[in-house]
Amino acid sequence: MSPSTDEMPPLPEPLRVAVADSHTHLDMQRDSVEEGLRKAASVGVTTVVQVGCDLKGSRWAAETAAAYENVHAAVALHPNEAPRIVHGDPDGWSRQGARAGGGQAALDDALAEIELLAALPQVKAVGETGLDYFRTGPEGMAAQEASFRAHIEIAKRQSKALVIHDREAHADVLRILREEGAPERTVFHCYSGDAGMARECAAAGYYLSFAGTVTFKNAQPLRDALAVTPLERVLVETDAPYLTPAPYRGRPNAPYLIPLTVRAMAAVRGIDEDAMATALAANTARAFAY
**Residue 13 located in a structural domain:** no
Beta bridge partners of 169: none
Q: How far is CA 174 from CA 35, 114, 131, in A?
A: 38, 23, 10
Query: Could you give the 3-state DSSP secondary structure of residue 212?
Result: helix
Is the residue at 187 inside a domain? yes
Range of the domain at 151: 19-288
Provide the number of structural domains found in the chain.
Answer: 1
Which of 134, 158, 178 lies closest to 75 in space, CA to CA? Answer: 158
| Residue 161 belongs to a domain | yes
**Helix, strand, or coil here: 75?**
strand
91 annotated to bind ligand: no
Task: Tell whether the model's pLDDT for residue 123 goes beyond 60.
Answer: yes
On whether residue 129 sits in a domain, the answer given is yes
pLDDT value of residue 93: 38
Average pLDDT over residues 109-115: 98
Collect contacts of 83-86 with beta carbons under 8 A, ≥24 apart. Answer: 83/136, 83/139, 83/140, 83/143, 83/144, 85/110, 85/143, 86/143
Closest to 236 in 3D by CA, of 28, 6, 44: 44
Residue 2: pLDDT over 60: no
179 is in an annotated binding site: no
| 23 is annotated as contributing to ligand binding | yes
| In a domain? residue 46 | yes
Q: Does residue 78 fall inside a structural domain?
A: yes
What are the CA-CA distances from residue 238 to residues 43, 123, 184, 256 (Å)? 14, 19, 24, 9
Q: Is 25 annotated as a binding residue?
A: yes
Distance CA 141, CA 80 (A): 9
**Residue 7 included in any domain:** no
Confidence band for 140, pLDDT divided at 50, 70 and 90? confident
Beta-carbon contacts of 69 under 8 Å, excluding residues fewer than 6 positions away, are none
pLDDT tens digits for 22-47? 999 999 999 999 999 999 999 999 99
- Encode burial over 83-92: b for 16+ CB neighbours within 10 A, e otherwise: bbbbbebeeb
> For residues 117 and 22, what is the distance between their CA atoms, to the nearest angstrom?
19
Band (90; pLDDT cuts 50, 70, 90) = very low
Q: What's the confidence (pLDDT) of residue 95?
A: 37
CATH code of 235's domain: 3.20.20.140
Predicted local distance difference test score (pLDDT) of residue 197: 98
pLDDT at 81: 94
Q: What is the mean pLDDT of the chain?
A: 94
239 is in an annotated binding site: yes
208 DSSP β-pair partners: 188, 234
5 within domain boundaries: no
User: Left if phi > 0, otherwise alpha if psi is -120 to 50, otherwise beta: which for 130?
Assistant: left
